[in-house]
Structure 1
């Protein structure tokens, strides 16, 4: 009782501190319980903004599943299939905002390439090649495009050494649960332990997500044959469901344009204050027209690697502060809620179906196949998906998860399909813990109930529902 009282007092003190911060920065005027024009859109799900948390406790370092904290669905339950979606590890900024500190966190991270045709093994006849990215700002005296690149060995958006270790830690955690538990007892329905051949791996076509998938899988299966090729499936960005983007879907673009229009909740709670805050940062750093998204990228990367806050070039006492960073994180959480909330209006349900529906349909199709067969050859047991913060966020918002914090580096969602007696059950873990959500109890959600909840978000014909889009369109 004493422990609970102390925790409650600590939580209350923390809440008061956060409210004081929000009041001092004007954030109390930005939340959904403030008055604003809604244009008839009412979100019936809980969209209370995510709490402001210490970056290093959540964003910079996500928790992992582990043998010590994991427990089976029940003593007699057995696994049929597991899907693990994860964000890449810690990285360098995607773009430079002068003045940028030296980024020397990426040395020793190389990629070995082995040329091989589909019908013959050439591993003994040709050399292996190593891919190493060269940063034009490293050791060069020329000013590349007005400081586009920083000094150091990190390429834009590249996985850092810290990011590598995060993915290895996640891989070891998954190994201790699903592959080789220390007690030697397999959780799988046939009693066998999976090997690298039982895994299907997907990644977005981004170097840091591909490398994250490689480091995770190598830690998850440390005894795999180094000469045996492991396939990582990569799809064109226009049709890659892991990107959960608007690319290739004109109908989704049309919906989101309407939901983000002038006078909408998105405009009031995110777009307008984001523009205002970005202008403040421009003034502090003597910059011009830099959107808040770029400041968010730079500040999070700096924070997680203990880099100094940026200051005005001619006045080092005028700097971006910790309060500014918390303000940015709170606005970012607002952005994610209005971008991915899946309920409240027909338009939002349709947007979720078009954006996340294709990935959800793939997931359910594979889980459905596992309910009809337990053969290792008929379907992979483990599916690994290497994506981004938006991948994880979109999935959690589709499930109406209670945790609305921005998914941190190495954030992970495990979707488990269990056989327990005559029933099949779904359990979903976020960073190793059961997801608390409005849609179902994901500590033990019945398979039929899960299917029923997912129905409104499953596209019947995604091409027809989206319409056509020129293949030449790419991300900005």
Structure 2
């Protein structure tokens, strides 16, 4: 069925509904996992052990050697049990045996708890205030008294533990753990230039003195698990679920003249990177390789992980301690934004393919749409659904393109690889997708979901209205309501080279007179159908590749 454009479905409401007004009837949250150690070792072989030992200090104690998360994972699992389907790698996490690389860090655990606390605060403050009330016996309500919480994850220890920490911050009410600050950190040894070598040990010592926030009283007889579902019904990771299909779809994009030309132009940058990060040479590439010849997710990973832990870019390398160390560090630092820029461009090309975008985003969007319809017809006295999906950067990015996140769809290129000039940034706010340039706000698609990023789909009931027409959907990215310009018909403009897109419907947009246009449930359904129609319809049913086809062909999720 093909939908044509219509301008009659969106809800026009007071501007306060854009951010927090209305009764929140259900919440569906997709989040990237928290901060982690780098996914791969990229240095020379003779520094491998030294760098390994450092990242072991950044992850929970004992989690590395056993490969199953250690004591921190076991403690979290007392309240938030991990249930992994046997169809998922025989019931074992895909990243077991790779420690410390790719493991959730202690910092990442703190990030996810903080995100969970922020969401609890949001739903205690806005939309309803029942969680601050008490039972007839005077006992306070717990979060689980009002919310039916479910959590799902991709099959990685870092995503499962991230979901557990999110739930710990969301549901637990014990006194919040003290946050680390640079002013009260005392490192065990080493000079200021090498403080990063001791910082991890300090984090581990601090973690040993912590306890999780959840108590038996918080659970109040309820149970919440983190499920890695059977592949046949899992909606979260198309690259793992159907690697052969995804491999073919991405190869179709790679084969285009534009991709070959632009990615080939990045070869000099890739070669320069390899001078500093020799582990990029010959490392496995997704989908059989591209003209630039390296894995750009791993390259970007080097900058992100080291900045997060204040580790010099050239630590544990042959450049460290040499006379030209400062100059070499500066030279590598200048590559950071061009690397991120090219990575973002590559995925923009991928998600410009309707077939590929639909395969990534249609299953989870279709799933939450069904749950929203069920929620509308429930009694208001019933518990409200709170559904958590723990996944990866590429998943969040696909969802944002699918729903038409304004800053991605209509964003400017912001000078491409020339976003840095003589070592000085010519813009700020890349992480927020908001560029300040020449005193004018511009949006940028050269953005990558940071660790612990969240996309929340809130089903909101308009005051004194009922039924499907009395509800709308508010989409919040990292605490900020999004303006959406999605495809509502297969005839709509696709992702174009020249931006912005003019003729698509807009949701979450302020209008004159203090009003805003919000996405109704009919709009949401129409958007999904248009996405599926543009992507080829029913070929994107949720099913896995056969055992003979399945393999690790896809993206190594960030």
TM-score, normalised to structure 2's length? 0.58
Partner of 1:389: 393
Partner of 2:508: 442
Q: What whole-Å deviation, never above 9, does each CA across 1:32-74 have from its counterpart, x for those lacking one?
A: xxxxxxxxxxxxxxxxxxxxxxxxxxxxxxxxxxxxxx97558
Q: Secondary structure at the match of 2:34?
A: coil
Q: 1:248 to 1:471 in 2, by over 3 A?
A: farther
User: In structure 2, how many angstroms separate the alpha carbons of the residues matched to 1:333 and 1:212?
Assistant: 24
Per the TM alignment, residue 438 of structure 1 is displaced from its structure 2 partner at its CA by 1.6
Per the TM alignment, residue 293 of structure 1 is displaced from its structure 2 partner at its CA by 2.9
Structure-to-structure mapping, 1:350-429, within 5 angstroms: 350-374=355-379, 381-403=385-407, 404=445, 405-420=447-462, 421-422=465-466, 423-429=470-476
Structure-to-structure mapping, 1:59-208, within 5 angstroms: 77-98=22-43, 99=47, 101=51, 102-103=54-55, 104-108=57-61, 110-112=72-74, 155-178=100-123, 180-181=124-125, 185-186=129-130, 194-195=143-144, 198-208=148-158
1:280 aligned to 2:354? no
Query: Which residues of structure 1 form unaligned runs of 5+?
Result: 1-69, 119-133, 137-148, 342-347
Per the TM alignment, residue 258 of structure 1 is displaced from its structure 2 partner at its CA by 1.6
1:430 aligned to 2:477? yes
User: In structure 1, how many angstroms separate the alpha carbons of the residues matched to 2:228 and 2:452?
Assistant: 19
The answer on whether the counterparts of 1:248 and 1:470 sit within 8 Å (CA) in structure 2 is: no
Q: Which of the numbers 526, 534, 555 marks the counterpart of 1:452?
A: 526
Partner of 2:343: 332
Q: 1:236 to 1:305 in 2, by over 3 A?
A: farther
Q: What whole-Å deviation, never above 9, does each CA across 1:62-121 have from its counterpart, x for those lacking one?
A: xxxxxxxx97558872122111111111110011122464222224572117799x9xxx
Q: What whole-Å deviation, never above 9, does each CA across 1:307-342 have from its counterpart, x for those lacking one?
A: 11127626645345221111111111112211223x
TM-score, normalised to structure 1's length? 0.67
Q: Which of the numbers 296, 313, 332 marks the counterpart of 2:318?
A: 313
Q: 1:402 to 1:465 in 2, by over 3 A?
A: same
User: In structure 2, how many angstroms separate the alpha carbons of the residues matched to 1:252 and 1:183?
Assistant: 40
User: In structure 1, how many angstroms separate the alpha carbons of the residues matched to 2:473 and 2:449?
Assistant: 22
User: In structure 1, how many angstroms separate the alpha carbons of the residues matched to 2:508 and 2:240?
Assistant: 28
Number of aligned positions between the proteins? 364
Q: Secondary structure at the match of 1:426?
A: strand
Q: 1:273 to 1:380 in 2, by over 3 A?
A: farther
Per the TM alignment, residue 416 of structure 1 is displaced from its structure 2 partner at its CA by 0.7
User: In structure 1, how many angstroms separate the alpha carbons of the residues matched to 2:35 and 2:482?
Assistant: 24
User: In structure 2, how many angstroms separate the alpha carbons of the residues matched to 1:241 and 1:204?
Assistant: 9
Q: Which of the numbers 219, 236, 239 marks the counterpart of 2:169?
A: 219
Tell me which moved more, 104-113 or 419-428: 104-113
Structure-to-structure mapping, 1:204-283, within 5 angstroms: 204-223=154-173, 225-226=215-216, 229-235=223-229, 240-245=234-239, 247-248=241-242, 250-261=244-255, 263=257, 265-269=258-262, 271-283=263-275
User: In structure 1, how many angstroms separate the alpha carbons of the residues matched to 2:348 and 2:540?
Assistant: 26
User: In structure 1, how many angstroms separate the alpha carbons of the residues matched to 2:152 and 2:455?
Assistant: 15
The answer on whether the counterparts of 1:91 and 1:301 sit within 8 Å (CA) in structure 2 is: yes
Per the TM alignment, residue 236 of structure 1 is displaced from its structure 2 partner at its CA by 5.1
Q: 1:433 to 1:184 in 2, by over 3 A?
A: closer
User: In structure 2, how many angstroms separate the alpha carbons of the residues matched to 1:407 and 1:195?
Assistant: 29
Question: Greater helix share, 1 or 2?
Answer: 2
Q: 1:374 to 1:323 in 2, by over 3 A?
A: farther
The answer on whether the counterparts of 2:302 and 2:313 sit within 8 Å (CA) in structure 1 is: no
Query: Which residues of structure 2 form unaligned runs of 5+?
Result: 1-14, 62-70, 82-94, 136-140, 174-213, 284-293, 408-444, 487-505, 510-517, 554-558
Partner of 1:16: none
